[in-house]
Amino acid sequence: MKNTKILLILVISIFIEVIVFNITSYYTLFGKYEVKTYENPKFLYYENDKAYLEIENINLKVATFKIELKDVRNITEYNILYSDETTSQYWELKPKVYIQSNEKSKYMPLYLSGETKSLIVCIDKNIYDSNGLDKIVLNEKIPFEFNVIRFLIVFGIMIFTYFVKNAEIFNTIYSEKNFKQEIILIGVMAIFLLILVYINTYSDSEISSSRNSYFSITTNEGIYNKDFVDSLANGKLYLLQDPSEEFLKLENPYDALNRNDVERDIDYKWDTAFYNGHQYIYFGVLPALIIFLPFYLLTNKYLKISIVVFAFSILIFTLLKEILLKLLTRYFKEIPFKNVMYSLITLYSGSLILYANGMARVYELVIIVGVYFVLQGIYFILKALEKESNRHINIFWGSLFLALSVACRPTDLLASIIILPFIISLLIKYIKNFKENKINLIKLVSAVGIPYITVGIALMIYNYVRFDNVFDFGNKYQLTINNMMTLGSRIFTIPVGIICNLFTIPKFITEFPFITHSNDLISFNGYYYIENMVGGLFIIAPICFCSFFVFKANKKIENKELKIIINSLLGIGILIAILSIVMAGSNQRYLIDYAWMIILSTILIFISMYSVLKSEEAKKIVQFIFCIATIYTFIISILVGIISEKDYIKNNSPEQYYKLKYNVCFWE
């Protein structure tokens, strides 16, 4: 029976690929259509760098339009206007992008009324002037294409759905000793890594038409991975290139309006900290010290930021999986494997790691590396919770990684609060039995104190040398869109920011990738920075709404340790969200700092509430809702990754972007 259903799924998948996804290639079969070729359409006029050409007296039923261009290396847009039996005037159709290597991009299926009287074809002026138009063909059959990757994706989704619903392994209790379940979870991570590779590779700002550039790991530009590295290599903490004389003469260089008379990135470097005549990098120094500088010293080349973001994203996915499984197996005895799998997919998707790889710059770099160090620290602390052997060694490594995260993002210091209850509990235990635990007490204090004190002193010295203040990371000296020196109290921005960062509803559109930025603010009579928000965390990952049940969960949960973890993750996540609102504003990347905290907390709340349900029917309904929410979060995370902050895949790899678009939008 199982083999029969798998065969049926295979047949359905083939049908979808052959018939549904290639529906336009059958269009001319449903009627008699005369094929006509036009090599020299009548020139009409130029407008906005476009040439308009007319084909008159067609007087045919037209089902398809094809345009052939010569020697077109880059993508180019074309469009047609038509006049059919419904009107003598011209109606304009949506433009389409022409890709020389993609046959289907050259065709447009037309659904006109009766006979077509005439067409106006709009192409790039330069292409027309250089005799780049080869020919226009009407009613030629749109070519059939069996896309293997698309077929495998559809088949994989259907097979996966079938097995999740019917296979015993998905409906059994999760066990860390179950090898098959572990393979499935690794498979989930592998899928995310494949998506990660695609988004990271084709969003690269230095990508070119050369296939070799896809695998280039070095660069010749970058304020952080080149200019800052050059400074460090020369023993300087400020950039070697000082601002111009014109910039230094400005009355108030921190005022963006004051900088209108000087040129950005020529007279000064954007988003640097200007202090005492020098420009400093206020972004966390740790990635430069442990990655970019050593790479440069060894190779005399500059490492791409996107490569580092990609590598640390893999580490983050690995740690998220391990931390999730450690928490679930420690605090819950019987969890359906489905719920574990849905939780992992939701955690990966909602973490916005895919989004960060869609525009991997220094902004995303320090966030991603910071998240890694926080997660690695928490992982070691969880290992210390599991068993007493090597406990203090694990606490040392956990404390060290958490302390180092501050050298990436100062706000990551708050993440250390998550481990405080455990450290304090252990400290009290040792003090109560001081005689027996004297050595353990010394080990504990050393394991926590040495990393934090060492890293803290190093950062204080670093700050003092740059800004004459041990607590100043340079944010207020930032040369950005607003004057950070006099921005003032931001407490009244918190309600606005909470709505923007957590509850912004994505703008869904009819064009691929079906989602766009949503930068609308509720009424606020003051300055609030918002840029390229796609959606709030609670809307991207609806599991977060379980946070509203935290008080109810606290009453139901008997394990005090679990309560502390849930409330710590949720509380610190919200606190970091508020700090980012007050100190910065709203931008999708800001959510990455705390998204995983809130999602992980709400997953634990959900599993806790699910576990106390007595009705099997209620459990099935709740599990179904979780499944739908997971699918939604997964899909929207991919779309958010594709659009990124500024459409990097579309702008940097347009050929790949439109190939993807036409594979998805098969009806165009």
Give the CB-side neighbour count of residue 522, counting CA atoms within 13 A.
13
Read off the pLDDT of residues 279-308 as tens digits, 9 standing for 90 and up.
999 899 999 999 999 999 999 999 999 999
Alpha carbon distance 567, 549 (integer Å): 11
The one-character DSSP state at 94 is P
Report residue 122 as tokens.
Answer: 């709009």
Alpha carbon distance 591, 599 (integer Å): 11
Report residue 21 as tokens.
Answer: 């996804």
Confidence tier at 351 by pLDDT (50, 70, 90): very high
Question: Environment class of residue 509 by beta-carbon count within 10 Å: exposed (0-12), middle (13-18) or buried (19+)?
Answer: exposed
Give the model's pLDDT for residue 645. Answer: 84
* H or E element at residue 563: helix 560-583
Confidence tier at 260 by pLDDT (50, 70, 90): confident
Give the model's pLDDT for residue 534. Answer: 92
**What is each CA distance from 503 to 131, 500, 543, 544, in whole angstroms?**
52, 6, 13, 11
Report residue 16 as tokens.
Answer: 């979808």
Alpha carbon distance 75, 54 (integer Å): 22
What are the helix (H) ranges across 229-336? 229-233, 245-248, 286-287, 293-299, 305-331
Read off the pLDDT of residues 86-122 as tens digits, 9 standing for 90 and up.
888 899 999 999 998 889 999 999 999 999 999 999 9
Give the model's pLDDT for residue 489. Answer: 62
Report residue 217 as tokens.
Answer: 């790991």
Between 387 and 157, the higher pLDDT residue: 157
Strand partners, 264: 268
Give the model's pLDDT for residue 87. Answer: 81
One-letter amino acid for residue 211 of the chain:
R
Q: What share of the chain is helix, strand, coil (3-state, %, to 5)?
A: 60, 10, 30
How wide is the angle at C-alpha 633 spanned by C-alphas 630 and 639, nearest 5°? 145
What rounded mean pLDDT belongs to the chain? 91
Alpha carbon distance 320, 346 (integer Å): 11
Read off the pLDDT of residues 615-652 as tens digits, 9 standing for 90 and up.
889 999 999 999 999 999 999 999 999 999 888 999 88
Give the pairing of strands 64-69 and 50-55.
unpaired
Report residue 293 as tokens.
Answer: 């500088």
> What is the pTM assigned to this prediction?
0.92
Read off the pLDDT of residues 554-568 as tens digits, 9 standing for 90 and up.
998 989 999 999 999
Distance in angstroms between the alpha carbons of the first and the last residue of the chain:
39
Give the pairing of strands 302-303 and 530-531.
unpaired
Alpha carbon distance 359, 624 (integer Å): 34
One-letter amino acid for residue 367 of the chain:
I
Give the model's pLDDT for residue 54. Answer: 93
For tokens 């709030």, the residue is 536
The one-character DSSP state at 258 is G
Beta-carbon count within 10 A of 34 CB:
10
Give the pairing of strands 586-587 and 530-531.
parallel
Contact (Cβ atoms closer than 8 angstroms) between residue 55 and residue 136: yes
What mean pLDDT comes out for the span 491-505?
Answer: 91
Confidence tier at 137 by pLDDT (50, 70, 90): very high
- pLDDT over 70 at 422, yes or no: yes
- pLDDT over 50 at 209, yes or no: no
Q: What are phi and psi of 279, to 5 degrees?
A: -105, 130
- pLDDT over 60 at 214, yes or no: no
Read off the pLDDT of residues 155-207 as tens digits, 9 standing for 90 and up.
999 999 898 888 889 889 999 889 999 999 999 999 999 999 999 999 987 66
Torsional sign, CA 35, 41, 44, 46: positive
Task: Output Rg (C-alpha) for the chain, integer angstroms.
Answer: 29
Report residue 432 as tokens.
Answer: 């109560």
